[in-house]
Amino acid sequence: MTELGTNVEKAAELLRRGELVAIPTETVYGLAANALSSDAVLKIYAAKGRPAFNPLIVHVRGAAEFSRYAEEVPELVMQLAAHFSPGPLTFVLKKKSNVPDETTGGGNSVALRVPAHPMALDLLHQLDFPLAAPSANPSGFISPVTAAHVADQLGGLIPYVLDGGACSVGLESTVVAVQGDTITVLRLGGVKISDLQLAAPQATVVTSTTPAAASPGQLRSHYAPRTRLVLGNLDKLIQEHRSKKVAVLALADLPPHQNIVAGAKLSPTRNLDEAARNLFASLHRLDAAGAEIILAERMPEEGFGPAINDRLERASV
């Protein structure tokens, strides 16, 4: 039986005993365990059905703690952290030996971030260890942005869901690696590339063209509903699938076709920040609509558009 509640002290006590607790962050809900305990971390992989080579993000109380778990923290990392920590930015750094291989997927790097959710920070301040916390859902499926989403997907597998309301960002964190004056974006997410450039104008920002083993969220098939999803031009897709019952995910305008059984507008005003916040909640609703297929509109390649398209592309594999 999985309990939902707002008792941070109870969540802390369960985590001290090596149990799993789903916690709210500004990005998505995370499935948390003691990041320094191999046994606790292995429970995350088991509950999610997650491949053990897929590294986990380690959540800490503040950027000053990065040096506890990373061999070296470049000055550029701290410059970015001054702007985005707490916040949806994760740094991949060379790990210290106190971080178990189970937490890093067997690699020699650790992914570190400071969550920007008051309940998550309160919880971290009650613990004397950091929290490994990937998204609180079965591996490969839609990320949860409410406590109810967690209960629907992991109910019975974990003892407690700390309910902190709906996630304010709604996309996983942006993941970066820093070398010299170069910032390499390993995963698009809750911090835009343009914001990284503004925060570190002296640096060069590049996007990785190949999946990085050190970065979470890089499996080709990811973020997927149980209903098949196809991404592209909505009018063309609806014509191609006109004999089926379809659900439609659009940025602002739903096409008027009779075979649409459910639809979701990510942002009626075409605001991509709002679209990012609404993405996963909309996918959860459409997945439950009883459609044969979900047709998703490709977003504009600006702002959060590339990060949304990244999630939809992985969901459509």
Q: What is the pLDDT of residue 257?
A: 82
Name residue 91's beta-bridge partners: 112, 176
Asked whether the CA dihedral 189, 3, 151, 159 is positive or negative, the reply is: positive
Q: What is the pLDDT of residue 228?
A: 96
Tens digits of per-residue pLDDT, 238-259? Answer: 999 999 999 999 999 998 888 8
Architecture of the domain spanning 229-315: 3-Layer(aba) Sandwich (3.40)
Q: Is 85 annotated as a binding-site member?
A: no
* 3-207 matches 229-315 in fold: no
295 in Cβ contact with 289 (< 8 Å): no
Q: Is 104 annotated as a binding-site member?
A: no
Fold of 3-207: DHBP synthase (3.90.870)
Helix (H) or strand (E) holding 247: strand 246-250
The Cβ of residue 289 has, within 10 Å, a number of other Cβ atoms equal to 17
Q: What are the residue boundaries of the structural domains of the chain, listed by start?
A: 3-207, 229-315
DSSP, res 98: T
Q: Is 160 annotated as a binding-site member?
A: no
Q: Is 143 annotated as a binding-site member?
A: yes
Q: Is 68 annotated as a binding-site member?
A: no
Angle between helices 147-154 and 272-287 (to 10 degrees): 30
Helical spans, DSSP H, in the chain: 8-16, 38-48, 66-69, 75-84, 118-125, 147-154, 193-199, 234-240, 272-287, 305-315
Q: Is 252 annotated as a binding-site member?
A: no
Rounded CA separation 69/93 (Å): 9
119 in Cβ contact with 165 (< 8 Å): no
Q: Is 220 annotated as a binding-site member?
A: no
Tens digits of per-residue pLDDT, 11-65? Answer: 999 999 999 999 999 999 999 999 999 999 999 999 999 887 889 999 999 999 9
Q: What is the pLDDT of residue 237?
A: 94
The Cβ of residue 93 has, within 10 Å, a number of other Cβ atoms equal to 21
CA-CA-CA-CA dihedral for 120, 29, 32, 224, to nearest 10: -160
Helical spans, DSSP H, in 49-143: 66-69, 75-84, 118-125
What is the chain's pLDDT, residue by residue, as a tens digit (317 residues)? 899 999 999 999 999 999 999 999 999 999 999 999 999 999 999 999 988 788 999 999 999 999 999 999 999 999 999 999 999 999 999 999 999 999 999 999 999 999 999 999 999 999 999 999 999 999 989 999 999 999 999 999 999 999 999 999 999 999 999 999 999 999 999 999 999 999 999 999 999 877 655 677 665 566 789 999 999 999 999 999 999 999 999 999 998 888 899 999 999 999 999 999 999 999 999 999 999 999 999 999 999 999 999 999 999 96
Say what the pTM is. Answer: 0.94
The Cβ of residue 115 has, within 10 Å, a number of other Cβ atoms equal to 27
Q: What is the pLDDT of residue 216?
A: 73
Q: What is the pLDDT of residue 224?
A: 86
Rounded CA separation 280/183 (Å): 27
DSSP, res 59: E
Q: What is the pLDDT of residue 207?
A: 94
Q: Is 173 annotated as a binding-site member?
A: yes
Q: Is 133 annotated as a binding-site member?
A: yes
